[in-house]
A and B are shown apart, each in its own frame.
Chain A
Amino acid sequence: MVGIGYRKEFSEQLLYSNDLRPDFIEVAPENWMQIGGYWKRELHKALEQYPLFCHGLSLSVGSPEGIDPDFVRKVKRFLEETQAVLYSEHLTFSKVNNAHLYDLLPIPFTMEAIERVSENIQRVQDILGRRLILENGSYYTVLKAEMPEADFINEIVRRTDCALLLDVNNIYVNAFKHHYDARAFVSQMPLDKVQYIHMAGHLQVSEQLIIDTHGADIIDPVFDLFRYTMGQLNRDVPVLLERDFNIPELTVLQKELDQIRAIKNNSLKQEDHAVNGA
Chain B
Amino acid sequence: MPSTEHNTFALQHSLGLFCRTGVNEPVTSIQEHTVHYRRLVFNVVKDTLKTAFPLSRNLAGKKKWRAAVAYFFEQHNCQTPQVWRLPQEFQEFYQHQDFPSGTDCLMLRELLQYEWLETEVFMMEDLPVAAFKKQPQDENDIYVPNPEIKILALHYPIHTKDAKHISETDKGQYFVSIHRDYETKQVRFNDLSYPFVELLVTMNEQELTKTDLIRMLMRYESNINTVLSVLDEFEQFAFANTILLGYKTQPRT
Contacts and interface: CB of A to CB of B under 8 A. Distances in A.
Interface of A: 30-31, 33-41, 57-59, 62-64, 68, 71, 93, 95-103, 105, 107-108, 110, 112-113, 116, 140-145, 177-178, 208-209, 211
A187 B114 CA distance: 54
Given A102-B45, A103-B37, A30 B17 contact: no
A37 B30 contact: no
B186 to A, nearest CB: 7
A141 B45 contact: no
Interface string B17-38: 1011000001011111110110
B6 interface: yes
Contact of B180 (A33, A37, A96, A113): A37
Interface in B125-184: 125-127, 148, 180, 184
B9 A141 contact: no
B40 interface: yes
Given A107-B12, A112-B8, A140-B36, A36 B124 contact: yes
Given A37-B124, A38-B185, A97 B28 contact: no
B17 A112 contact: no
Which one of B5, B48, B83 has the greatest number of beta carbons of chain A within 10 Å? B83
Contacts of A93: 12
Interface residues of B, number: 50
Given A35-B124, A105-B15, 4 more contacts: A38-B122, A38-B186, A102-B44, A141-B28
B224 interface: no
A62 B12 contact: yes
Contact of A105 (B7, B16, B77): B16
A140 B122 contact: no
Contacts of A62: 12
Contacts of A142: 28-30
A141 B34 CA distance: 6
B24 to A, nearest CB: 13
Interface string B90-112: 00000000000000000000000
A100 B36 CA distance: 17
Contact of B79 (A59, A63, A100, A113): A100
A103 B42 CA distance: 9
Interface string B38-69: 00110011001000000000000000000000
B41 A102 contact: yes
Contacts of A96: 12-13, 15-16
Contact of B81 (A58, A110, A143): A58
A74 to B, nearest CB: 9
A145 B11 CA distance: 12
A108 B78 contact: no
A16 to B, nearest CB: 17
A37 B119 CA distance: 11
A103 B47 CA distance: 13
A36 B120 CA distance: 10
B82 interface: yes
Given A30-B82, A71-B81, A108-B8, A99 B16 contact: yes
B8 A41 contact: no
A254 B154 CA distance: 50
B84 interface: yes
A41 B185 contact: yes
Which one of A41, A101, A102 has the greatest number of beta carbons of chain B within 10 Å? A102
A100 B78 contact: yes
Contacts of A107: 12
Nearest to A99: B77
B123 interface: yes
Closest 4 CB pairs of A and B: A36-B126, A58-B81, A96-B16, A38-B185
A178 B180 CA distance: 50
B80 interface: yes
Contact of A144 (B11, B19, B33): B11
Contacts of B123: 35-37, 39
Nearest to B32: A208
Nearest to A59: B81
A143 B41 contact: no
A177 B30 contact: yes
Nearest to A96: B16
Contacts of A41: 185
Given A39-B123, A143-B26, A102 B12 contact: no
A127 to B, nearest CB: 14
Contact of B9 (A98, A105, A112, A209): A112
Contacts of B44: 102-103
Contact of B41 (A68, A98, A101, A177): A101
B29 A110 contact: no
A102 B83 contact: yes
A212 B75 CA distance: 29
Nearest to A209: B33
Contact of B8 (A103, A144, A177): A144
